[in-house]
Chain A
Amino acid sequence: MEVATRMRQNRHTLMLLARGCASLSLATEARPESNCGCAELLTGGGGGTWMFWRNLNTMPVCCNSCLEKNAVLKRPKTGHSLCKECFFTAFEEEVHQTIMSGQLFQRGETVGIGASGGKDSTVLAHVLKVLNERHDYGLALLLLSVDEGITGYRDDSLETVKRNQQQYDLPLKIVSYEELYGWTMDDIVKQVGLKNNCTFCGVFRRQALDRGAMILGVDKICTGHNADDIAETVLMNVLRGDIARLRRCTAVATGSEGAIPRCKPLKYAYEKEIVLYAYFKKLDYFSTECVYSPNAYRGHARAFLKDLEALRPSTILDIIHSGEHLSVKEDVRMPVQGNCSRCGYISSQALCKACVLLEGLNRGLPKLGIGKHQKLHHKLLAQEPLTEQERRKLKVLDL
C-alpha cells in the first residue's frame, strides 16, 4: 500500500511538473557531495518521464541566491535558478511574509488546518508547523478533515491524512457528511446523477468544515488555496458575473462574515512551486482526481489560466493584483447577509443553501437547490406541500 501510494504520487508529481514545461525546467537533484562544476545525477524518472528530463541543461547552473551550490530548479514564479535549500528558504519565507503582513494569526490561537490529504493542504500543514516553531507564533495547530463519503477517493486520501497526523504529530478531527447530513456523496450521486453533484459537495463541505471547527473549538481555519486557485476563482467570477464574490475572493482572510474566520496562507504560492516543495521535501500526499467528474465549467477557466501562465508566468499574480484592486460601484445591489432560519448558519436567503439542498434530497426532489427557487422557501419553512407541477419540475429526469 505504502509503496503503491508513493509510486503513484511520484508519477503525479512528474506529470504536474511536466505539464506546461515552458515556464518550468527542473534541473536534476545534485549529488550531496557535488559542488559547482560537478556532473549531475539524474534521479527518478521511468520511461514515461523521459520527455521531461530531456530538456535539461547539461551545464550545471549556480544558484542565483547563495551563489555557491548547483541550482536544481528554476522557480516558476520568478524564473531564477535555485538550489534546494535556497528554494525551501524562499518558499517558507514567503508564506511567513503572507502570514505577517496579513496578520493572519494571534499568539495563543488554536488553528485548524483544512486537510484533504492533497498536495496543497499537506504542504500547508508542513510549512505551518515549521514556521510555528521557527518564528514562535505560539499557535496550537490541528488537522481538520471532511469525509464526503466517496468510495475510491476520499477513503484513500484520508489514509494519507492519518499518516500526516503521525508524521507531523498534530491532532486530527474527521467530520463526515454522513453524521452531519445523513447522506454520503455516494448516496447523493445515486439520486442526483453526475450533473450537479459538485454543487452538493461544495456547499456541504463549507459547512462541514465550520461545524468540525466548532466541535474542536478552534479560533481560525486555514485552507490550502494557492495562487492558481485564487486567480482561477477571479476568472470564474468574472465569467459568471458574480460581483459579490469577485469582490471578496482575493481577500487573504475572511473574518466577519462566517462563524469562524478563515485564511489562506498559500495565497501567493504558485501551484507548481507547491508541487516542487512537496517533491523535494518528499512529502507524503495523495493525488487522484475525484471520481465524480470535476466541474466542467471550472475546467475551462483552469485550462485558460494554464495557457496564460505558459505565455507569461507572472500572470497568476497579475490576476490576483487585478482582483485586489477592483472597485465596485456603490449603487450595485449586493446580497445582504443574514442567518438561515433553520440551522442558523450565515445565508443571504431565508434558508441557507445547505438546508435547501438537504430538504430536496430528503423529499426526493434533488433539483430544489439547483437554480433559483427562492419563491418556494416560505413553503418549505411552513412545511406546506408542493404542487404537482412544482414537484415535477424538481425531480431528476430519468433518461
Chain B
Amino acid sequence: MCRAQEEEDERYSEAVRRRPELGLEQKCMKCKERSAVLIIRIGDAFCKDCFKEYFVHKFRAMLGKKRLIYPGEKVLLALSGGPASSSMFQQVQEGLSRDAPKKLRFVPGLVHIDEGAVRRQSLKEREKMVAEMESVLKMSGFPYQIIALEEVGRYRAVIQVFNLPSSVVQWVSKDIPDMADDYKAAVDGFLGHHTGVENAESGSRTCVQTKLAELSIEEPEPAASTGTFCLPSAQSTQALKQLFDSVRSLTAKEELLHTLRSHLLVHTARAQGYSKLMLGDSCTRLAVKFLTNISLGRGAFLAMDTGFSDRRYGDVVLVRPMREYSLKEISFYNQMFLVPTVFSPALNSKPSEKGSIHQLTETFINKLQSDFPSTVSTVYRTSEKLNVASSVEGPESVSAARCLFCLCPLDTRVEKASAFHATLISEHLSQRKSLDLPEAAVKKCCAESEERRCCKKPAARGSTTSRADERLNLLDLLCYGCRVTTKDLTTLDHLPHYVRSEADHRTHRTAMKKEIQEFLLHENADLEYVLKT
C-alpha cells in the first residue's frame, strides 16, 4: 500500500487515540465555547455555528479563489433536487442575500430537468415531483425553469448550435484570460463587452442568439423568466423511452442520459444568455466519477469531466463549486439547516450494486472509504493533478474534430502502439478469414471504413445508406468512451434527430473535403467547416 496512505491512516489511528472521549460535553475546536455537535474530518469537532461558518466560507472561498465568475454575469444553476445541488442552491441564496458579508455578485437562474420518463415514473409521480421542485424553486425569487428531458427530441439543431461558430470559441479564448492572471482586467473586459453587446446589439453573443432563434424549432421558447412546466406529449415520451429501451446495458444508459442532459442544459443556458452553468458535484461524487470515467475509457478528458471549470462548449463554461465538500458534510449541513431536497428514483428499477459500472464504482469507493478514510480525498487529489491532454488543447483544438456526443476533442487519432489499435486488431483477427499480414490488417481496417463513406456516393444521406454504414460513420465521429457506449445501442434509429442529422452532415463534409483535398492550401481547412453555416 502507498506510503502516503499508510501515513495518513497512521495519523488517523493516532488522532483516534488522542481524541478525548466523545461526549456531549466536548467543546468545539474552533470557538472553544459551545459544545460540539459533529465531527468533520478526523477528530475535528465543530459546534453548529462554527460548522455553518466553515461551510459558507468554503463556498465563497472556492469561487473567490478561482475568479471565474464576473460581477453581473448570468449564471445558471442546474438543480437535480439531490443533496449536493440543493446545498449549492442554498449557498447561492445565502451569498446573494443582502446581509451577507462578502456578497456574491452574479445573477442566478435555476433549471431543473425532469427525467421521469427514463426513471420509470408514472405521469402522476412526475407531476408530483415537479410540483415539489417548483415550490422549492419558487421561494427563491430567482427566474427558474423546469424542462422535461423529452425536449431533446424537439431541438433539431442543438448540435449545430454547439459547434456554432468559431467566433464564439475565439471570443472566449481572447476575452477571458486563463485563470486570474489579471482578474481585474478580465472583469473590466467582461463588463465592457457586456454593455457593448447590450447597447449596440451586435457582437458574437447576440449573433449566437439570433442564430439560435432561427435554428431552434417550430415552437417558440418558453418565456425566459419563468418557465411553467408543461408535460411533454405522450409521443415524445414514447420516443425517449424507445431510445433508452434500445440500449443494452445500464452503464450505457447512464452515459446516454448524462450526454442528453448536458446537451439540454447547455442549450438552455445558451438560449437565455447564461455564460456559466453551475453543477453541484461533490467531492465524493467526483471521486466516483473519476474512477468510473477511467473504467469507461474517458481518461483523456478527466480534467474536463471532473475539474472545477470545463470549457468544452466554448461560450458556456461549466463550473463545479461544490467539489471540495464531501457528501457527508453536505448531508449534515442539509439536515441541520433544513435545506429542502427532492428525491428522484434511480435509473434502474431494481437497485443492485452491480447493475452498472457507475454503481459498481460507487459501492467500491464507499466500501473502501469506510476501511481507509483517506480514499476519497486521495482520488480527488489525483484528479487535481491532471489537465486536458496537451495534444488535445491548444490553438489547434478550436478546429480539431470533436466528439459528436460529449464535445471532447477526439482521442482516437493515436499511433499504432495503443489500446485503441489493439482492440481494432483483435476484432479484425477474430472475425473473418485473414492470412493478411497484420500490418495490412490495420490499414485494411481503416481503409475499409473510409471506403464505405467514400466520395463515390457522397449523397448517401437518407434512404440509400445502409444501417451498418450509418453505424460505422457515427462511430467515426465519436471519442473512445462514447464509441464504447454506442456499441451498446441495438439501433441508431431512436437517437434524437439533431444527433443523426449532424452525424450525416459531418460525414458528408468529410467526404467532400476528401474530394477536394489536393486543392486545399492548408491542412487545417476545418476553419472553413466551422464557418460554413
Assess whether A387 is interfacial by the CB under 8 Å rule: no
Does B31 sit at the interface, judged by CB under 8 A? no
Report the bound CA distance from A318 to B368 in whole Å.
22
A322 and B299 contacting across the interface, CB-CB below 8 Å: yes
- From 394 to 448 in chain B, residues with beta carbon under 8 angstroms from any chain A beta carbon are 411, 414-423, 425-427, 429-434, 438-439, 442
Q: Looking across the interface, which residue of chain B has its beta carbon closest to that of A268? A: B422
A323 to B293, CA, bound (A): 11
Of B217-225, B352-360, B497-505, the one contacting chain A is: B352-360
> Contacts A241-B382, A324-B418 hold; do A300 and B484 have CB atoms under 8 A apart?
no
Interchain nearest-CB distance for B486 vs A (Å): 12
Give the shortest distance, in Å, between A392 (CB) and chain B (any CB): 15
One digit per residue, 1 when the CB lies within 8 angstroms of any chain A CB and 0 when it does not, for chain B 1-18 equals 111111100100000000
Interface size on A, residues (CB 8 A): 62
The answer to the question of B480 belonging to the interface, with a C-beta cut-off of 8 Å to chain A, is: yes
User: CB distance B5 to A240 under 8 Å?
Assistant: yes
With both chains docked as a complex, state the minimum distance between the C-beta of B431 and any C-beta of chain A, in angstroms. Answer: 6
Residues of B within 8 A of A372 (CB): 3, 7
Stretch of B88-96, B164-172, B257-265, B383-391 on the interface side: B383-391
Inter-chain contact A319/B297, CB cutoff 8 Å: yes
**Closest A residue to B389 using CB positions:** A327
> Does A190 sit within 8 A of B, measured CB to CB?
no
User: Does B295 have its Cβ within 8 Å of any Cβ on chain A?
Assistant: yes
Tell me, rounded to whole Å, the shortest Cβ–Cβ distance linking A182 to chain B: 25
Inter-chain contacts of B484 with A (CB < 8 A): 312, 314, 318
Q: Does A389 contact B (CB under 8 A)?
A: no
CB atoms of B354 and A241 under 8 A apart: no
Chain B residues within 8 Å of A352, by CB: none
Decide if B154 is an interface residue (CB 8 Å cutoff).
no
Q: Say how far A109's CB is from chain B's closest CB, in angstroms.
A: 18
Task: Determine the distance from Cα of A241 to Cα of B414 in the docked complex, in whole angstroms.
Answer: 27
Q: B2, B294, B386, B484 — which one has the most chain A CB atoms within 10 A of its CB?
A: B294
Min CB–CB distance B470 → chain A (angstroms) = 22
- Rounded to whole angstroms, the CA-CA distance of A172 and B433 in the bound complex is 38
Tell me which residues across on chain B come within 8 A of A238, comparing CB atoms: 290-291, 294, 379, 382
Are B5 and A98 in touch, CB under 8 angstroms?
no
Q: Mark A304-340 against chain B: 1 for CB-CB distance below 8 A, else 0.
A: 1001101110110111111111111110100000000
Closest to A86 in B: B430
Question: In the assembled complex, how far is the CB of residue A104 from the closest CB belonging to chain B, in whole angstroms?
Answer: 9
Do A319 and B295 touch (CB < 8 A)? yes
CB pair A241–B381 under 8 Å, yes or no, is: yes
Give the CA-CA distance A297 to B389 in the complex, in Å: 30
The proximity string for A residues 79-116 relative to B, scoring 1 for CB distances below 8 Å and 0 otherwise, is 01010001101100110111011110000000000000
Docked pose: A317 CA to B298 CA in angstroms: 12
* B contacts with A, residue count (CB < 8 A): 68
Closest to A250 in B: B419
CB < 8 Å neighbour of A78 from B6, B291, B375, B426: B426
A65 at interface, CB cutoff 8 A: yes
Decide yes or no: A307 and B354 within 8 Å by CB, A90-B429, A102-B417, A238-B379 being known contacts: yes
Assuming the contacts A314-B484, A317-B419, A321-B418, asked whether A332 and B300 have C-beta atoms less than 8 A apart, the reply is no
A312 touches B418 (CB 8 A): no
Pick from B298, B418, B429: contact of A65, CB below 8 A. B429
A98 touches B249 (CB 8 A): no
Please measure, in the bound complex, the distance between the C-alpha atom of A346 and the C-alpha atom of B293, giving whole angstroms: 34
Contact with A along B479-507 (1 / 0, CB 8 A): 01100100000000000000000000000
CA distance A255 to B215 in the complex (A): 54
Which of B378, B414, B422 makes the CB contact (< 8 A) with A239? B378
Query: Chain A contacts of B381 at CB under 8 A?
Result: 241
Residues of B within 8 A of A97 (CB): 421-422, 425, 438, 442
CB distance from B462 to the nearest CB of A (A): 32
Instruction: Indicate the member of B1, B417, B481 with the most A CB atoms within 10 Å.
Output: B417
Contact present for B364 and A241 (CB under 8 Å)? no
Per a CB cutoff under 8 Å, which of A242, A297, A321, A332 touches B480? A321
Among A94, A312, A329, contact of B251 (Cβ-Cβ < 8 Å): A312
Complex Cα distance, B381 from A353, in Å, reads 25
Is B416 touching A327 in the complex (CB atoms < 8 A)? no
State A308–B363 Cα separation when bound (angstroms).
Answer: 12
**Contact yes or no, B431 A304, CB < 8 A:** no
Give every chain B residue within 8 A of A329 (Cβ-Cβ).
Answer: 385-387
Contact of A326 with B299 in the complex, beta carbons under 8 Å: yes
A324 close to B299 (CB less than 8 A): yes
Q: Is B339 an interface residue (CB 8 A)?
A: no
Given A98-B422, A326-B299, A67–B433 Cβ distance below 8 Å?
A: yes
Is there contact, CB below 8 Å, between A77 and B426?
yes
**Across-interface contacts of B481 in A (CB, < 8 A):** 318
Judge whether A322 and B297 touch: CB under 8 Å.
Answer: yes
Which single member of A239, A312, A321 contacts B299 (CB below 8 Å)? A321
Residues in B neighbouring A87, C-beta threshold 8 A: 430
A162 surroundings in chain B (CB, below 8 A): none
- A320 cross-chain contacts in B, Cβ below 8 A: 419
Assuming the contacts A242-B2, A372-B7, asked whether A325 and B299 have C-beta atoms less than 8 A apart, the reply is: yes
- Contact yes or no, B1 A243, CB < 8 A: no
- Contact partners of B429 in chain A: CB under 8 A: 65, 89-90, 93-94
CB-contact partner of A234 in B294, B387, B420, under 8 A? B294
Query: Known contacts being A78-B426, A97-B425, is A326 close to B249, with CB within 8 Å?
Result: no
Tell me, yes or no, whether A275 is within 8 Å of chain B by CB: no
Let me know if A252 is at the binding interface, CB within 8 A: yes
Q: Is B316 interfacial (CB 8 A cutoff)?
A: no
Cα(A103)–Cα(B415), bound, Å: 12
Residue of B nearest to A318 (CB): B297
Question: CB of B302 within 8 A of chain A?
Answer: yes
A209 located at the interface, meaning its Cβ lies under 8 Å from any Cβ of chain B in the complex:
no
Q: How far is the CA of A241 from the CA of B429 in the complex (A)?
A: 37
* Contact between A311 and B249, CB atoms less than 8 A apart: yes
How far apart are the CA atoms of A308 and B293 in the complex, in Å? Answer: 12
Known A323-B299, A326-B302, A327-B389; contact A314-B433, beta-carbon cutoff 8 A: no
Counting CB contacts under 8 A, is A158 at the interface?
A: no
Inter-subunit contact B360/A325 (CB<8 Å): no
Residues of B within 8 A of A89 (CB): 429
Q: Quick one: CB contact mask for A51-69 with B, threshold 8 Å, 1 for yes? A: 0000000000000111100
> How far, in whole Å, are A92 and B300 apart by their CA atoms in the complex?
29
Residues in A with CB closer than 8 Å to B50 are: none
Report yes or no: B378 in contact with A240, Cβ–Cβ below 8 A.
Answer: yes
Confirm or deny: A235 has a beta carbon within 8 angstroms of a beta carbon on chain B. yes
Provide the bound-state CA to CA distance between A243 and B383, in Å. Answer: 9
* Residues of chain B contacted by A234 (CB below 8 angstroms): 294
Tell yes or no: B207 within 8 A of A by CB.
no
Known: A94-B422, A240-B4, A297-B1. A328 touches B386 (CB 8 A): yes
Q: Name the residue on B nearest A67 (C-beta).
A: B433
Distance from B8 Cβ to chain A, minimum over Cβ atoms (Å): 10
Interface: B327 (CB within 8 A): no
A373 to chain B, nearest CB (A): 10
Contact A98 B417 (CB under 8 A): yes
In the bound assembly, the distance between CA atoms of A259 and B385 in angstroms comes to: 29
- Whether B297 contacts A321 by the Cβ 8 Å rule is yes
Interface residue? A295 (CB, 8 A): yes
Q: Which of B287-307 contact A (CB under 8 A)?
A: 290-291, 293-300, 302-303
A-B contact pairs, 26 of them (CB 8 A): A65-B429, A65-B433, A65-B434, A80-B430, A89-B429, A93-B425, A93-B429, A101-B417, A101-B421, A235-B294, A241-B2, A243-B382, A297-B1, A300-B364, A307-B360, A307-B364, A312-B251, A314-B423, A317-B419, A322-B293, A322-B298, A322-B300, A324-B414, A328-B385, A330-B387, A371-B10
Across the A-B interface, the 3 shortest Cβ-Cβ residue pairs: A322-B299, A318-B297, A240-B2
User: Which positions in A face B, CB cutoff 8 Å?
Assistant: 64-67, 75, 77-78, 80, 82, 86-87, 89-90, 93-94, 96-98, 100-103, 234-235, 238-243, 246, 252, 268, 295, 297, 300, 304, 307-308, 310-312, 314-315, 317-330, 332, 370-372
* Given A321-B297, A326-B386: 8 more A-B contacts, CB < 8 Å: A87-B430, A90-B429, A97-B425, A98-B422, A300-B368, A307-B360, A322-B293, A324-B299
